[in-house]
Structure 1
Amino acid sequence: VLEARAGFYEKPIATLDFASLYPSIMMAYNLCYCTLVTPENARNLNIPPESVNKTPSGETFVKSNLQKGILPEILEELLAARGKGSP
C-alpha cells in the first residue's frame, strides 16, 4: 500500500477496494457450508437447476431464494455495521 499524497492531479487516478471482495462474492452466490449440495443430492431433493449456483471448480450451492446461508447473512450484518462507522 502506498502512502497517499495530497495534491491536484491532472490525470485520473484509479483506486481499487478489495476489502470486501470475497465477502461480496460469498453473499452474491450464497456460498456457505449449509448451502453446499452435491449434484446427486440436488437431484434427489428435486432442486431445479436454476435454483443452484455452480462454481468454476464444480461445487454446487443452493440459491438464497431456497435457503439463505448463515455465512452470507453474518457477512451482510458485518458489512452493514462497518458502513455505519464508529461513534
Structure 2
Amino acid sequence: MTIFVTDWSMTSDVTHESAQRVAEKWLKSWRLSWLPDRLLTREQALAGMDLAEIVSTQTYRHDRSAHIRAVHCAGQLGIPLEQILLEL
C-alpha cells in the first residue's frame, strides 16, 4: 500500500479515493474524495487516505494492528470510526 503525495494531490495504489489541495495558504486546504464537505489539514488528509487504504483491504477486519491504525486515523479526523466505515 502506497500513498503518492505531491504539493497538490494524494492518490493511492489500492483505492480510488484521493485528496486534493484546494487553496495555497490556508491551514485547512485539503479535501478528501470520500469526505468532500470538510476542509482538512495536510496531516488530516493523509490520515484520511491511510484510512481509505486500511479499510479497502480484505484483512482489515481480522488484523488488530490495522484496526488500531484505523482508530488512530479516525481520531485525527475527529470522526468515529463507525461513521467513517459507512462513508467508505
Shared fold, TM over 0.5: no
Q: Which has the higher Rg, Structure 1 or Structure 2?
A: 1
Higher helix share: 2
Higher relative contact order (Cα pairs below 8 Å, separated by 6+ residues) = 1
Give the TM-score normalised by structure 1.
0.27
